[in-house]
Structure 1
Amino acid sequence: MGYQFIIKKFIQKPELGLNVNFTRLTSGSKDMSIALAEQSSRAMRKADLGTTAYQIGEELTSKFPHAKTQVDNIFGHLNSVEKITNRPKGPVSIITKLERGIKQGKINSYDTALKYIGDGVGSRIITKPLPKLSKNQIKAMMNDMRINGSPLSSSEKKLLQKYIYNQPMPQQDADKAFPLFEKFAQPLIEQRSKQVVDDLSISIAANRIKKGELSIHQIKEQGLLKEELINRLETETIEDLEVLLINNYRGGHGLPEFSSRQIQALRKICGNNVIINSRPDLAGYSKFPNYKYTKEEVKKFAVKASGYRTAQMNIIHSNGVRGELQFRGPLTNYFGEYEHIAYDLRQGKNTLGPLFNDYKREISKLPDWKYEKYNAYLEGCYNYYYRLELGLPAAKPKLPKGFNKVLSEENMKKLHEANEKRLSELKTGFKAHFEEVA
């Protein structure tokens, strides 16, 4: 006999099925009865967990319009912003996260479950690419560069030029060239992200002022904001934003979304209550003696093997719902839609459809050493797209020899687009609520 689970819509705040006590035994041997009881207990847990995920999804959906408006008010008017996307987290994604939280012992009630969903409302602020730089512009930027007050030496210029134009070089030379390249690209990074960082900064300041943690006088006295931003705080109505955590993710040889100077500025206005994870090569890092993590720990948090790159923040909206902000360009944002598939599969997070079966099979076969090589390829793809967003010369990497072509970035993109089409078709006429089938 078959059963169909029903969403128990009117159950209020279930305890996630943690204390299910299934005592009724069925006919048959004792062993069979126990086996059936355990199976039913697991099913009831799953049903209660699904109910909780559904209810959390409903609550997030109800609070979504306010959260969306808040994000749009802060960033929607900026000329450098191409678009903003907002979405409440759905039940399927919620249940996966709840299962992880329960295993970690961090969830034992509806309220702790709701709090555990740190990205209940996800918002992406997509910033516009910069115009493509000419060779003369690149040359002028190199001539203007200063390292500790001195211009680049001829050997440094030669090395940097090779790196900028993607010319082959030994890994040792690439490791030497990258810090120069990061310094070279810093003005471009800041040009793209200046407006969003400025408006993020004054929104954080407005929130700290509202909570009584700061005053305009202290901001001026301590030099926590630039004068132009202080003037806006004093003369404009600023939408405030409570930030809990900032991650400035990138790969080992990848450029960040926010520059080291911008991260230092955010550290100043956020204070010691906000954890900021960014690669710890900052001159100002030692100015924060109360910082929670060591440089090595921060590097582990902030540097991603696949080159995953975004400035990502956990926030609390003014209506109490927890959210996540991500800042990216349009090209890296789209690549990020399907880049994470390999990582998710190796972490046991399988929410993919049958179109990905060949890809899943190939990924599962990779030994760790080969997966590291594949991650290096993915990082190269991220770096390629981000260079394009910064207006820099870019060369798309090729899938290394020894890998099945199904693992190529081009094929991942095709699979992603085909799967999106499939999901769109499945949603046509779909009903979220089911009645019991006789």
Structure 2
Amino acid sequence: MTEPRIDYEAVFRALPGMVALLTPDLVYADANEDFLRLAGRSREELLGRYIFDVFPENPHDPAAAGRAETQASMIRVVETGERDTMALLRYDIQDPSRNGRWREHYWSPVNAPVLDPDGHVRLIAHRVEEVTQLIRARGGPGGDPSSSALEAELYTRARELQEINDRLRQAHAREREIALALQAAMLPAPTPAGLHGAAVRYQPAVGALNVCGDWYDLVDLPGGNLAITVGDVVGHGLAAAGVMGQLRSALSAACRVAEGPARALEVLGLYARSVEGAESTTVVTAFVDRDRHTVSYSCAGHPPPALLHPDGTVTFLDQATDPPLAARPAHVPRPQAHVGFTEGATLVLYTDGLIERRTEDIDTGLARLADSLARHRDSAPEDLADLLLEELLPPSGTTDDTALVVVRL
């Protein structure tokens, strides 16, 4: 039995209720039939035009605030990538057949993001319910003598809802600010470690609450050697940042006494079983031995480090990969592998925000990373770190944090 081919454009046009699609610049891209009919506008009058050119605010109403509230809601959707439900809104519409005459209207709007494969807001889905008749039926304008009192009551309730929404947004923004400050305090300063020139970067995700548990660490070992770790806690916000701090500290201590990266991850895995929220954390640890010119590494469900050779070839260190922390029902030893390097090679550790994109195979992201590394193989670590973020991350950011460590060997 073959699956039926669905004409999504026809489905959109036939949707019950008013729905329009706008670009992030608030220009109409499309509208369904109910939107055109109830708004009293043709498709030609809408498409390609700025929303407030098509529907200007009533100049005869000094208390009108519909434009400012609608614009603010849509901008929030573009900036956060999250749905925004507006309070009851009065927004009068000019009668297209009688210039200068305005019809009183009440709306209940919802604005939702339509994301592209990279997680960017490509369109705004603007759904509105026209509730003018409902208000009038309950005694609103044009109804019984108590209409003014009812209208005032409706506006009071709408303003109260809007104030609640504003307070929630402020609380979310404050949570993000605290989480970022917590992460900054827990992560080591971006300065060269020991005898190695190293560059580190931390790029937060876009959105009000997209603060994650990514971390990096560089630990000086005896003999001028170096341990490098990068990890990613599942989840967002203060809880993830708190778990990140505990795991980073534990792994930093383990690296200083463990025989190698696998043993360090085994210790961390045992500790993670006692930390709520640490399950399924991914992490990779690499030990650099300068005398032997080798990198020993072990990976717990994390994207593989990249070793950039002086000739521009790239080797992904994927021969010691195991499940994330606390993913198995019982503890088992972690695998460990070794790879040699020549003077001038570059080791790159990162979290998945650098390479992973929705609807895209991870091999595509790894190939993109390898290509960028090869083209910039002569760049110093600081310059290379900036170039990788510039080329691999979308200009408007991603929905996941990105931690990056670049070390010249």
- Larger RCO (CA within 8 A; separation ≥ 6): 1
TM over 0.5: no
Task: Please indicate the TM-score interval, normalised by the length of the shorter structure.
Answer: under 0.3
TM-score for the superposition, normalised by structure 2:
0.26
TM-score for the superposition, normalised by structure 1:
0.24
- The structure with the largest strand share of the pair is 2
